[in-house]
């Protein structure tokens, strides 16, 4: 089984990139983030033309997640609320950032973690609150699904080797100590980084800023991850970053990350 994650930064803008990539890389499931489209306007026909169906949870112009699969996913769930309950979630599900489904015995969670904007800002506080609920959500899922895969754009580089230049990381969004501590706490429920099982050195990134020729200079960050429960971590065969789509004309600033079980 192959599962990929890709922040496409607008599914309609990047539609040809997505369908071409799926034709060349027929993964079982492709988890998309930042689809930026309401559900009725999702380009379902184009996705179906390359042999995929879609589970979607979108909103206009911002956020949005989708799961494209060759076979129908089971037990599809959108947002935190169905698992955690409305009282604990509050307004967090107003932004469409969480979608999960099951393929065979594998429960897949697709996440678009808030960016946080700037350390100490209101959006940063929102990110911390969101990550707190995420931990509860994953704890509850793990209680019922020991084969759990959590992937997506986490907007956090957990270690210095995940950043091209970690200088100033303490005050930089996506690498501040509090963000790293929060993500480490989330993972403490029993999840491990699939990529680091196979690749321990730095210089491997999944996101590059559009500015300053960052991609050409490989000045990137590794912020798109696959985290696996112990049962799946033992089964994982590979986890790779496909940088080719980032070099296309008018690309997303992220690129796919693929795990094989």
Domain tally for the chain? 1
The pLDDT of residue 41:
98
How would you write the pLDDT of the chain (261 residues) with one tens digit per residue? Answer: 999 999 999 999 999 999 999 999 999 999 999 999 999 999 999 999 999 999 999 999 999 999 999 999 999 999 999 999 999 999 999 999 999 999 999 999 999 999 999 999 999 999 999 999 999 999 999 999 999 999 999 999 999 999 999 999 999 999 999 999 999 999 999 999 999 999 999 999 999 999 999 999 999 999 999 999 999 999 999 999 999 999 999 999 999 999 999
% of the chain surpassing 90 pLDDT: 100
Residues 6+ apart with CB under 8 A from 59: 36, 38, 95, 96
In sequence order, which residues have a C-beta less than 8 Å from that of residue 179 and are 6 or more positions away? 116, 127, 128, 156, 173
Task: Kindly report the pTM of this predicted structure.
Answer: 0.98
Of 191, 207, 197, nearest to 241 by C-alpha is 207
CATH number at residue 127: 3.60.10.10
In this predicted structure, what is the pLDDT of residue 73? 98
Boundaries of domain holding 59: 2-260
């Amino acid at each position: 089984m192959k599962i990929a994650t890709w922040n496409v930064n607008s599914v309609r803008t990047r539609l040809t990139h997505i369908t071409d990539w799926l034709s060349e890389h027929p993964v079982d499931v492709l988890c998309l983030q930042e689809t930026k489209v309401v559900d009725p306007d999702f380009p379902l026909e184009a996705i179906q033309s390359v042999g995929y169906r879609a589970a979607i949870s979108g909103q206009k112009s911002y956020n949005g997640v989708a799961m494209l699969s060759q076979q129908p996913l089971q037990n599809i769930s959108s947002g935190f609320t169905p698992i955690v309950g409305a009282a604990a979630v509050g307004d967090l599900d107003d932004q469409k950032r969480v979608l999960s489904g099951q393929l065979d015995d594998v429960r897949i969670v697709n996440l678009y973690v808030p960016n946080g904007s700037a350390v100490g800002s209101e959006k940063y506080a929102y990110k911390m609150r969101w990550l707190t609920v995420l931990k509860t959500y994953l704890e509850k899922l793990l209680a019922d699904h020991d084969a759990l895969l959590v992937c997506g754009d986490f907007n956090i580089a957990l270690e210095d080797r995940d950043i091209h230049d970690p200088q100033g990381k303490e005050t930089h969004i996506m690498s501040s100590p509090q963000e790293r501590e929060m993500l480490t706490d989330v993972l403490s429920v029993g999840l491990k980084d699939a990529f680091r099982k196979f690749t321990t050195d730095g210089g491997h990134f999944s996101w590059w800023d559009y500015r300053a020729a960052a991609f050409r200079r490989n000045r990137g960050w590794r912020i798109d991850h696959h985290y696996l429960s112990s049962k799946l971590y033992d089964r994982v065969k590979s986890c790779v970053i496909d940088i080719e789509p980032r070099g296309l004309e008018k690309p997303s600033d992220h690129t796919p990350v693929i795990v094989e079980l």
